[in-house]
Amino acid sequence: MGAGNLTLIWKGDSLEMIDQRKLPFTQEYVICKDANSTAQAIQDMVIRGAPAIGVAAAYGVLLAAKRYEGDSKDEFLSLVREGVYVLSKSRPTAVNLFWALDRMEKLVDENIAQSIDSIKQILEKEAKKIEQEDISINKAIGQHGREALSKLGKPKLSILTHCNAGALATAGYGTALGVIRSLHEADMIEKVLVDETRPYLQGARLTAWELYQDGIPHWVITDNMAAYFMSRGQVDAVVVGADRVAKNGDSANKIGTLGLSVLAHYYNLPFFIAAPLSTVDFSIEEGSQIPIEQRDEEEVRTVLGTRIIPGYIQVKNPSFDVTSHQNITGIITEKGTVYPPYEKNIANLG
């Protein structure tokens, strides 16, 4: 799962994605040929992870454009805009989705006088650019993260991570896992503690799969074991990704991240967010403004399709939580690691 990977492959007329719901047991692919099926794949978690959702959405807009075969500019534009709308409704929290849609839509507006074929070509170039940029951004995040964590002064580190912020969650290499990959390349990883990440098990199924393939030493732990290992000095730092970062540094990430940040604070451990600047929502002041996705309750009542809680029992399934900027040691971006005061220092980067 190095820089190039199978998260998504543009086939010229369709988008092929590895079905992340089936990993690591089977490698199956889902092929999307239009914006609706791409939006459905995002909603159903075939593809997930903030940057990967953004890249898939960009290709979804391109598919909306490519599906049109007539010669009416008005019809073409309304189909593309309908595609943007459907994609914007797929998932609410990861801001990269809206960032990518805005970027594609803006390009349509700027080139509205061009022929339909030219607009299709421009959109194709842009979607590919968004994908390629994401890989180089993640490499830069990896490099900056390595520098930030080197300052802890230990030759080898044990890093705890949550969910999957790896190659599968991006166009390649990963954000939080990009930092871990970069540390591993410098022989600085003692081990990675991988939170299993209920209910969807992104850690146990996806992060462990990526680390295994790269030969990076790791242990999968259940979500309630972090304090145990922290209290015994077996964690040097926590590094996670983000789905949306507010102007003041408050960061939404997979449910359970907030609890980890509180634990890290208690045990005086550094807690880093690794995310591209496309994850920063410059339109919101603080984390309370971030919309939190509430997913299907059946995800909590079942584990990999096996029912563990009867249907008549009430459950809750918030998919993300917000970590206060006060609990964050630094936010690792492609332009460097940002430290408090975030309000001022994030604005300087953006």
Query: Looking only at residues 83 through 102 of this chain, which bind ligand MRU when binding is defined by CB under 6 A?
Result: 94
Cβ 138 to ligand MRU shortest distance, Å = 8
Q: Does 253 bind ligand MRU (CB under 6 A)?
A: yes
Residues in the chain, total: 350
Report how many residues bind ligand MRU under the rule CB under 6 A.
17
The correct pick among 5, 7, 51, 119 for binding ligand MRU (CB under 6 A) is 51
The correct pick among 169, 189, 208, 300 for binding ligand MRU (CB under 6 A) is 169
In the bound state with ligand MRU, the residue whose beta carbon lies nearer, of 253 and 337, is 253
Chain-centre distance for alpha carbon 182:
18
Long-range contacts of 343-347 (CB under 8 A, 24+ apart): 343/247, 343/248, 343/249, 346/245, 346/247, 346/249, 346/280, 347/247, 347/282
Q: Does 163 bind ligand MRU (CB under 6 A)?
A: yes
In the bound state with ligand MRU, the residue whose beta carbon lies nearer, of 71 and 296, is 296
How far, in Å, CA of 318 to CA of 23, rounded? 23
How far, in Å, CA of 20 to CA of 342, rounded? 34
Q: Does 161 bind ligand MRU (CB under 6 A)?
A: no
Nearest to ligand MRU by Cβ — which residue? 241
Only one of the segments 48-56, 82-90, 152-160, 213-221 lies at the binding site for ligand MRU (rule: CB under 6 A); that segment is 48-56
Q: Which of 205, 212, 185, 342 is nearest to 273 (CA)?
A: 342
Is 135 within 8 Å of 173 (Cβ atoms)? Answer: yes
Only one of the segments 4-12, 55-63, 142-150, 165-173 lies at the binding site for ligand MRU (rule: CB under 6 A); that segment is 165-173
The correct pick among 15, 50, 149, 239 for binding ligand MRU (CB under 6 A) is 50
Instruction: Name the residue type at position 65.
Output: A
Cβ 90 to ligand MRU shortest distance, Å = 11
For 219, the enclosing helix (H) or strand (E) is strand 218-221
The correct pick among 5, 7, 158, 175 for binding ligand MRU (CB under 6 A) is 175
Instruction: Name the residue type at position 1.
Output: M
Q: Does 331 bind ligand MRU (CB under 6 A)?
A: no
In the bound state with ligand MRU, the residue whose beta carbon lies nearer, of 105 and 195, is 195
Q: Does 137 bind ligand MRU (CB under 6 A)?
A: no
- Of these residues, 195, 236, 243, 250, which one is catalytic? 243
Which residues 6+ apart lie within 8 Å of 7 measured at CB? Answer: 17, 18, 47, 52, 167, 168, 169, 170, 171, 172
In the bound state with ligand MRU, the residue whose beta carbon lies nearer, of 49 and 83, is 49
Rounded to the nearest 5 degrees, what angle is found at the Cα of 163, between the Cα atoms of 256 and 170?
Answer: 135
Only one of the segments 66-74, 212-220, 239-247, 305-313 lies at the binding site for ligand MRU (rule: CB under 6 A); that segment is 239-247
In the bound state with ligand MRU, the residue whose beta carbon lies nearer, of 64 and 275, is 275
Q: Does 325 bind ligand MRU (CB under 6 A)?
A: no
Q: Does 48 bind ligand MRU (CB under 6 A)?
A: yes
- b (16+ CB within 10 A) / e for 99-112: bbbebbbebbeeee
Helices (H), ranges, the chain: 35-43, 50-67, 73-88, 95-110, 116-150, 176-185, 208-214, 226-231, 257-266, 298-301, 342-349
Q: Does 290 bind ligand MRU (CB under 6 A)?
A: no
Only one of the segments 9-17, 164-172, 188-196, 231-239 lies at the binding site for ligand MRU (rule: CB under 6 A); that segment is 164-172
Q: Indicate if 243 belongs to the active site.
A: yes
Q: Does 165 bind ligand MRU (CB under 6 A)?
A: yes
Which residues 6+ apart lie within 8 Å of 54 measured at CB? Answer: 94, 96, 97, 99, 100, 130, 134, 278
Q: Which two tokens stand for residue 198?
A: 């209920």
Q: What's the Cα-to-Cα distance from 340 to each of 250, 272, 307, rounded to whole Å?
A: 11, 12, 44
Q: Which two tokens stand for residue 276?
A: 């591209």
Which residues of this protein are in contact with ligand MRU, per CB under 6 A?
A: 48-51, 94, 163, 165, 169-170, 175, 202, 241-243, 253-254, 319
Give catalytic residues, as residue numbers: 243
